[in-house]
Chains A and B, each alone.
Chain A
Amino acid sequence: MSEKHPPQHAGGEPAGRAQQPTPAAEETAALVSVDTAGGAMEPSAVPATAQSGQLPGGPDTLLRKIFTGSGMVSVLAVLLALIIGGLLIASTDKQVATTATYLFARPTDFLAAVWNAATRSYIALFQGSVFNPRGNGVAAQFAPFMETLTIATPLITAGLGVALAFRAGLFNIGAQGQIIVAGILAAWVGFALDLPMGLHLLLVLVAGIIGGAFWGGLVGVLKARTGAHEVILTIMFNYIALYFLRYLLNTPAFQRPGESNPISPILDPTAVYPQIFGSQYRLHLGFLLAIAATVLVWWLLNRSTVGFEFRAVGANPKAAQTAGINVSRSTILVMALAGGLAGMSGVAQVAGTEKVLTDGVAATYGFDAITVALLGRSTPWGTFAAGLLFGAFRAGAVQMQIQTGTPIDIVLVVQSLIVLFIAAPPLVRAIFGLNPRRRKPARPAKSREAATTGGAA
């Protein structure tokens, strides 16, 4: 019990300096309530940490376990997900169904059909995302790869936003809404204002980042001031942003002159990202900015004071607060930064890929960003690589659907399976028979991982 109180006061005083005692105390209560899992648990009776549990939105050793699990498990998880996806494809294949009728007479036919169905789709996926040998000339052969990079761009930046929030112990499910708000502002600046080359694009970018940062920061403020859970807030904010966008697209200000379709005017040529490799590819400057953002986030997390505070708060908000870190400020700041990064995705969409604003501006990039961040284990470069992988899936899936008729949805299945498997290394090891002899992996594995990740965080 006596352990409980110093942090309470330590947090209460700085917060209360500018305010009346009561709100300050309420704020402290909100902070404390996070530490005590919402305040319902008597903090004195059993320290939350002694329950060997994780606090909602608080430090999460298992979360870190996902982020820092061995590379081998990641590879196996991807492999396993692809196998299951392949089986799903094969299960609906006609050839497989035909050969299954005489399975016991000639099982080889059946197995060959299964193999063919799965590999045909995956080959199409590869050709649609990396290299198409049937292309006309080198340029056309590498066109799919350029498409992959184009689609990866918003995934990377939004994924970075989610990853950054993860590192501070926050679940940012709201990239979708942040992309939308950023898209609204960026698109409006892009088609409504008349500005010279360069300045216009810069303003579009800034408007988008501010839009995303505002939408994300709002969640941070609500979370910091009221203790509301950011998962619920971000989910709700996604819908609010979507309906607001739909409303705007129904007003003349966001429609093309003389039309009433819910689609904005095309952005001015001065407001769009230049295409990097000429007009034959859709790849635009946004990709280079995504690389820059990755470097920036890496620097922020690993080299800056603010980043250290984020990680400290993510590792243990109570300890961070005791150490004099302003947890509320960190929460607001990290959500705003995450929103800003997601905002870059919104800009990449309206100023790079689409060049107009529709209600599908965010597509499913915001939700995919969560899986991207999880697959990338919330490290900047991991997220970058995961963004490329999922970008390849997305780009290739279109080609796969055209060539083999395999629906695009298979990508969702494979993506989510990858994340599920990566999140549960013991399961993957068990499936591949890699588990050490001991039967109960949960406990020892946990402490071992915690020990290794302690230094990393």
Chain B
Amino acid sequence: MSTTVSSSRPGNPQPGNAGKDAAAATVSAKPVGWKTPVFLAAFALIALVFFGLLAPNQTASFGISTGSDFFQLPAIQVNAFAGGLVLSILLLGLAAYAIYLKTRGKPAPGWLTVAFIVLFVAAFLIWVVGGARTPSISLAGLIAGSVTLAVPLVFGSLSGVLCERVGVVNIAIEGQLLGGAFTAAIVASMTQNPFIGLLAAAVAGAAVSMVLALFSIKYLVNQIIVGVVLNVLVSGVTGFLFSTVMQANKAQFNSPPGLDIIEIPVLSSIPVIGPILFRQSLVGYLMYIAVLVVWVGLFKTRWGLRVRAVGEHPQAADTLGINVNATRFWNVTLGGAVAGIGGSFFTLVAIDSFTKEISGGRGFIALAALIFGRWNPIGAFFAALLFGFADNLQSIVTIIGTPVPSQFMAMLPYLVTVLAVAGLVGKSRGPAASGIPYVKG
């Protein structure tokens, strides 16, 4: 075997094990490299200098209880200087541990990266709030708002997971969200029933997806091209119908009844967790269900095994009697329906009418969340939460007045994604056959 010969070189990739490693280890599919430890160390140093040593000597206050909670917890008061210092030393510790593991030839475990991200975000938050004019924010509100902003992102990235796991690249998430938002608005307005609107949004998302599936599976058009073009097409069609139909008769076509927030009694009053888990709209609850269902479906059922087989090695799947292209078609359609439901969030929950480009590029952030979450529903969920958090923080920092320009806050998710895909925070890699059409024979 020539692989054994080449793998004797240190640091050489071992193609034979790469696939298994990726499934098992979350950090690196390649043999342990210096990349992860070095970058962790670099970010820890940044944290030490900026969030620690250069932090303002001001107390940041984080409220964790809202008025409607059962019991009131006192706000957390942190001195920005001390807090930043402690957290950045912890970060340095994690980086040092990663370097230690590297010298032992072991990869940094997954929890380490996650812990690092959490601590880094905390240090950043203390620094931002500590430097603000009014150094006080409601942490509960921040987190609850993040979840709300993340809802369409989660649905979008789930759509991406479903499509990419079966081997179809879905750049059209943006179009699916927009199509869902538009259809939900117009159908809910005409029927005066938000639930029918929600259903129609799923159908619209699925319809956009079917075009993607048709062109990429039957006509073998490059999937990225179809995705890019579909985004433009949906943007054009919805914009056109908005300007003609909706503008002409707003009352009849663009005043959808909203989906109300459903509060689960008692549970919704638990501080911090309550509003996140038990004070959501129907779409919000569907989000949690969808994440779990997709995760269980993909990794614990026969269906999921087949889907992943088609996405990783379609020829092998075909040999075992799985109809590759049919599996792809229906999964992509399902993905579109999921994204469509996410789109309905814009018009049925967040805002009470449709406007042009209401999805505002969130489909692309969902794409980023999918990659950052490593093509895993749970990972994508947390990545989407992180992006929702950045989005929410951006609007909050403009209110409390921090030294960081809000544009840079808005830039963060994209920067983080660049770092993620560039493999600086562990190697991210999609299903093997994603983007490759399958032609039998």
Contacts and interface: CB of A to CB of B under 8 A. Distances in A.
Interface of A: 1-2, 4-5, 8-9, 21-22, 25-26, 28-29, 32-33, 36-44, 46, 50-56, 60, 62-63, 66, 88, 92, 171, 173, 222, 226-229, 231-233, 235-237, 239-240, 243-244, 246-247, 250, 367, 370-371, 374, 407, 409-417, 419-420, 423-424, 426-427, 442-443, 446
Contacts, number: 243
Contacts of B439: 52-53, 442-443, 446
A48 B281 CA distance: 46
B218 interface: yes
Nearest to A401: B243
Nearest to A407: B243
Interface in B235-277: 235-237, 239-245
Nearest to B430: A38
B312 A235 contact: no
Given A52-B441, A235-B367, A374 B225 contact: yes
B411 interface: yes
Contacts of A233: 418, 421-422
Given A54-B437, A239-B364, A367-B232, A419 B224 contact: no
Contacts of B225: 63, 66, 374, 419, 423
A244 B414 CA distance: 12
Contacts of A5: 2, 6
B220 A62 contact: yes
Nearest to B438: A53
Contacts of A246: 407
A30 B244 CA distance: 50
A409 B414 contact: no
Given A37-B434, A228-B418, 11 more contacts: A29-B30, A37-B432, A37-B433, A37-B436, A40-B432, A54-B436, A231-B171, A240-B415, A367-B232, A409-B237, A423-B229
A411 B232 CA distance: 10
B221 A236 contact: no
30 contacts: A8-B6, A28-B13, A33-B13, A37-B435, A38-B430, A39-B18, A41-B19, A53-B436, A54-B436, A62-B220, A92-B244, A226-B422, A231-B224, A232-B367, A232-B371, A232-B417, A239-B364, A239-B411, A239-B414, A244-B407, A371-B232, A407-B239, A407-B243, A410-B240, A413-B237, A414-B236, A416-B230, A424-B221, A426-B219, A446-B220
Contacts of B240: 88, 92, 407, 409-410, 412-413
Given A51-B315, A92-B241, A239-B411, A423 B222 contact: yes
A158 B418 CA distance: 23
Nearest to B439: A52
A419 B227 CA distance: 12
B368 interface: yes
A105 B138 CA distance: 66
A25 B13 contact: yes
A53 B15 contact: no
Given A232-B368, A409-B239, A423-B215, A53 B422 contact: no
A315 B2 CA distance: 27
Nearest to A20: B11
A410 B415 CA distance: 34
B423 A40 contact: no
Contacts of B12: 25, 28-29
Contact of A416 (B3, B233, B356, B422): B233
Contact of A236 (B236, B417, B434): B417
A38 B432 contact: yes
A250 B2 CA distance: 59
Nearest to B29: A39
A66 B371 CA distance: 28
B243 A420 contact: no
B15 to A, nearest CB: 5
B422 A228 contact: yes
B414 A56 contact: no
Contact of A41 (B218, B232, B239, B433): B433
A247 B30 CA distance: 38
B183 to A, nearest CB: 16
A92 B2 CA distance: 66
A406 B162 CA distance: 38
B358 to A, nearest CB: 14
Contacts of B34: 22
Contacts of A63: 222, 225
A5 B3 CA distance: 8
B414 A240 contact: yes
Interface string B414-430: 11011001111000011
A443 B424 CA distance: 41
Interface string B374-412: 000000000000000000000000000000010110110
B431 A228 contact: no
A412 B312 contact: no
A281 B438 CA distance: 52
Nearest to B313: A41
B141 interface: no
Contacts of A227: 423
A32 B15 CA distance: 9
A1 B3 contact: yes
Nearest to A171: B224
A51 B438 CA distance: 7
A423 B219 contact: yes
Contacts of A9: 6
